[in-house]
Structure 1
């Protein structure tokens, strides 16, 4: 079922809540740049990468000065600021000044150094730990709570929940489905794209489909989500690209962050960390909403596993 993803479904995605999200916190600026850069023009990328790499220097520049430094135009600088979530360049400048102050005091890390092939394991551990910590903080700061709450509400009352993911994301999908099964919900993870689509067309209103894709353009994940969307299921996208193709078939979009990709640190590593945080938030939210049935189901699963692994009388 190959589709042209520029064509929207006949079903119209609900309009988002009418509120302006708060601009990113200063410490989340670098993560925002990493998330949005792939969908920016090259000139906008130059602006974004420059301000993330040198917040103190850029905070001292006027819009004209930053345009000259990056070889772009004032209009490009303003568009970049808005794409990063700031109403205008003045707001971006204030965030840059705040980030520079945090870095100077040690409250926020400078740009993380890439892992080198000759790094000792002590440095590898330290760098990975810092990157993972920052990725989790960036993801938590960027999550739209209203979107999370809407996804949790749909899942808590769902007749059935299907989760789609391939590659590293398939491991995250399996983790979520397993957790939901343990609290008594009907949940399935699909890594095979053919099975995913054939199951998706069976979904109806009252069901939930969740697509996990960091890039936002994984065809094997988009196709079943589109099928579920077209058949009336509530759809959720967990993605690092809020403007990716997958979001046009998602009722609710949950954005993840990721550390900078390098030769020894593929994007799949850090994206998995942020995806796991999001699906754990979903699981806990659902467990809270369904506590009267979730708690007994969870106790039963614990008891069954404990019994299975207890010593047996072998004759």
Structure 2
């Protein structure tokens, strides 16, 4: 099966900065220094000559040219034009303290709240902008026709995987989530043609998720991956690649904006699946809501 994804250059969905951010881990260390300067301030990078940018990145002009080609540009002039256009369309936060999206030492709670809100909103918006409807359609098709859907994720991505499993289960889809790699592997070994395995990994380098998807693919299942980086190792074992556009900053290990970006994609897939058979989905949601209604205060259950 041909892999469906969108990682080509040209007019990138979601914008050039999102495209460069997604490719950053696959670049050489010197190219990454160039990329970080470009992503941090596209307008300033667009004003620099190739010599100025190379000096600021502590590298050579040849490396800047290699960086341009790595992200799909013909050369530095094209990159400068694209960066200028990107800078013109970028919406900056109203609160000047939030510019840059990072949380500096000594930030008060008001600044922390404003920065987190801005980063989270930007992650959701940019993820939606670059999400490929064609690839989403292929994934929805596979899930709708699946005999069984297994979903895998570790750490914070595991919470998203669990959420996706619960959503699919509530509309009558046979879906499972396995947080432990051993049970995940034994489950994947029993998948076959017509089944779907979904792996969620922000970095795309989580070995557990890669290994489980590889096992599922070997057994003939359709494999889907949701990651922030379209050239990460996990994409090599996926038939369909969906990407987020989250840029974590100071507290990356907390998986803040990335988790919301993943949930945005999961919600799109869930609604897409439910919409394929609205009567069935509505009936299932009503039945599951009724099953737990007595456990809600104010719904006929007496308080102690």
TM-score range, shorter chain: 0.7 to 0.9
Report 1:28-67 matches (<5 A).
28-63=15-50, 66-67=53-54
Match of 1:152 in 2: 140
- Higher mean alpha-carbon deviation, 274-283 vs 49-58, is at 49-58
Query: Per the alignment, do residues 306 and 87 of structure 1 end up closer, same or farther by CA in structure 2, a change over 3 Å counting?
Result: farther
**How much does 1:122 deviate?**
1.4
Q: Distance in 1 between matches of 2:59 and 2:25?
A: 18
Give the paired residue count.
300
Counterpart among 286, 289, 292 of residue 302 in structure 1: 289
TM-score of the two chains, using structure 1 as the length reference:
0.84
Quick check: 1:206 aligned with 2:201?
no
Query: Per the alignment, do residues 181 and 90 of structure 1 end up closer, same or farther by CA in structure 2, a change over 3 Å counting?
Result: same
Quick check: 1:122 aligned with 2:110?
yes
Quick check: 2:123–2:246 contact (8 Å CA) kept in 1?
A: yes
**How much does 1:45 deviate?**
1.1
Match of 1:253 in 2: 241
Quick check: 1:269 aligned with 2:263?
no
SS of residue paired to 2:225 = strand
Match of 1:94 in 2: 81
Match of 2:267 in 1: 280
Quick check: 1:207–1:234 contact (8 Å CA) kept in 2?
A: yes
- Higher mean alpha-carbon deviation, 239-248 vs 207-216, is at 239-248
Report 1:175-186 matches (<5 A).
175-186=163-174
Query: Per the alignment, do residues 283 and 69 of structure 1 end up closer, same or farther by CA in structure 2, a change over 3 Å counting?
Result: same
Query: Per the alignment, do residues 235 and 265 of structure 1 end up closer, same or farther by CA in structure 2, a change over 3 Å counting?
Result: closer
Query: Per the alignment, do residues 255 and 293 of structure 1 end up closer, same or farther by CA in structure 2, a change over 3 Å counting?
Result: same
Pairwise CA RMSD: 2.9
Quick check: 1:23–1:85 contact (8 Å CA) kept in 2?
A: no
- Unpaired runs of at least 5, structure 2: none
Q: Distance in 1 between matches of 2:225 and 2:40?
A: 30
Match of 1:8 in 2: none
SS of residue paired to 1:238 = strand
TM-score of the two chains, using structure 2 as the length reference:
0.87
